[in-house]
Amino acid sequence: MLFFSLAIKLSKCMLFIMKKSKNNSQCFAIVAVESSGDRIGAGVVKEIKKLNKQASFIGIGATNLQNCGVELVADIASISAIGVLDPFLKIKKWLSVYASFRLECKKRAVKAVILVDGFDFNIRLARAFYDEGVKVMWYVGPKIWAWRKNRLELFKTRVHLTALLFPFEKPLYDAAKIPAFAAGHPFADHLTDDYCRNVIFNRQNIKKNKIIALFPGSREKEILRTGPILLKAAQRLKNMGFTPVISIVKSSVQAKQLKSDAQVSGINIWENDAESLLKQSFMTIAASGTVTLEAAFYLIPMIIIYKIDSLSWLLAKKVLNISYAGLPNWIAEKQIVPELLQDQLTLDNLIYEVQNLIKPANYELQIIELLKVAKSVHVKNAALKVAEAFLKLNEGG
């Protein structure tokens, strides 16, 4: 983008005239521009601090990173974007955050950075850091197996090491001769043999409480598009004898409106972490994203929903190599979880899928398929592996 090129040049000029600060190799940076990245990144920061007591962090993120001691330069709410149009609408804010973060990293003499997902924003930071000799680790590889495979070429000159969530991704990086390793997904660390052996029994017990977790997504536009229909579904489910609970993870304008509407309708609201809600639920209806994978790891039968702006959807159908929207289906390489996307996302369709899923045979079959998915990506101590690799990368000079 032209705007980003201008911002980069301006940033470099400002950095050149700044007085150089004392080198402090124990100060690192981390950038997470999505809620899921904020959670995943926080786990790595905690492990790094255990291994290196002198380590400190500045970054871009949200509550999870802040709670583990990261000094935030900006909050992700200001730069989070989805689809084709959102990044252009957020360009002014991106420029401001980009410049201020770069300058702060220079002041602290940051020598290594972790960039968590968020390709469109982070790939530009990666170039700037790489050119200055800052070690760049990318955590959560872009979905090149789904679309825009050419993005991988940029990693050759902008990223020193990539930590991948899924084992099936590594051959793609190996073929492109890009340093990468399969760290596993940290949300799957609980998958012990005992947990897996008892899961069907546990699910059937939890089924008795009739809690259905509803996740509209964390971004403003996601909540705007999926929130109203989930609220209608919650009202219908309540009348059917279930206990619907709508998860709200941010205090955004749309989230506050959804919360207010739900309270008026007598629908329960959940404002804590998704993990705690999932553990109490016998099924979930969730906007496509990390929460669907987390539900898979906890073996929670689900229905995946999603809706984006019409332009993005038209482009996606023509450009993307996407067979499924949900990660559980991608990993399984078949549809094990029902998906309701765009115009298919209607109240009648949603209730039909719920009634179909709660049939014992369908419910148990999805649990079995989710268990296969969970085991296929499970690597113990994922966050620790990323932390060790990052510190080794920094020590490499």
pLDDT digits (tens, 9 = 90+) for 334-354: 999 999 998 899 999 999 999
pLDDT digits (tens, 9 = 90+) for 197-229: 666 666 666 767 799 999 998 888 889 899 999
Amino acid at 177: K
- Using CA atoms, how far apart are residues 96 and 24, in angstroms rounded to an integer? 25
Residues 206 and 83 placed together within one structural domain of the fold: no
CA distances from 149 to 102, 120, 376 (A): 28, 14, 23
In tens digits, the chain (397 residues) has pLDDT values of 544 555 555 555 544 444 344 444 589 999 998 888 999 999 999 999 999 999 999 999 999 999 999 999 988 876 665 555 566 666 777 788 889 999 999 999 999 999 999 888 899 999 999 999 999 999 999 887 666 677 888 999 999 999 999 888 899 899 999 999 999 888 888 777 677 666 666 666 676 779 999 999 888 888 989 999 999 999 999 999 999 999 997 767 888 899 999 999 999 999 988 888 998 899 999 998 889 999 998 889 999 998 876 666 666 665 565 678 888 998 898 999 999 998 899 999 999 999 999 998 999 899 999 989 988 888 888 999 999 999 999 987 5
> Is there a single domain that holds both residue 54 and residue 180?
yes
Per cent of the chain over pLDDT 90 is: 53
Let me know whether 162 and 269 are in one domain: no
CATH of the domain at 227: 3.40.50.2000
Residues 351 and 391 in one domain: no
Is the same domain home to 207 and 144?
A: no
Distance from C-alpha of 199 to C-alpha of 162, rounded to nearest angstrom: 33
Shared domain for 92 and 15, answered yes or no, is yes
- Contacting residues for 27 by C-beta, under 8 A, at least 6 apart: 55, 56, 57, 58, 108, 109, 110, 111
* Tens-digit pLDDT profile for residues 360-380: 899 989 999 998 998 888 888
Q: What is the pLDDT of residue 296?
A: 93
Task: Give me the number of domains the chain comprises.
Answer: 2
Say whether both 53 and 131 belong to one domain. yes
Distance (Å, rounded) from C-alpha 397 to C-alpha 395?
A: 5
- CA angle, residues 297, 322, 308, in degrees to nearest 5: 85
> In the prediction, which pLDDT does 151 show?
85
Q: Are residues 215 and 300 in the same domain?
A: yes
- Is residue 192 within 8 Å of 378, Cβ to Cβ? no
Query: Which is nearest to 382 in space by CA: 109, 232, 167?
Result: 167
Distance of CA 157 to the CA centre of its chain: 25
Same domain, 162 and 234: no
My answer on whether 235 and 329 are in the same domain is yes
Task: Please tell me the predicted confidence (pLDDT) of residue 36.
Answer: 85
Instruction: Verify that 15 and 25 share a domain, yes or no.
Output: yes
CA–CA distance from 350 to each of 2, 160, 174 (Å)? 43, 44, 41
Domain of 285, in residue numbers: 193-377
What is the reported pLDDT for 191?
Answer: 75
Distance CA 88, CA 371 (A): 40
Instruction: Please tell me whether residues 281 and 177 are part of one structural domain.
Output: no
Question: What pLDDT, on a 0 to 100 scale, did the predictor assign at position 96?
Answer: 85
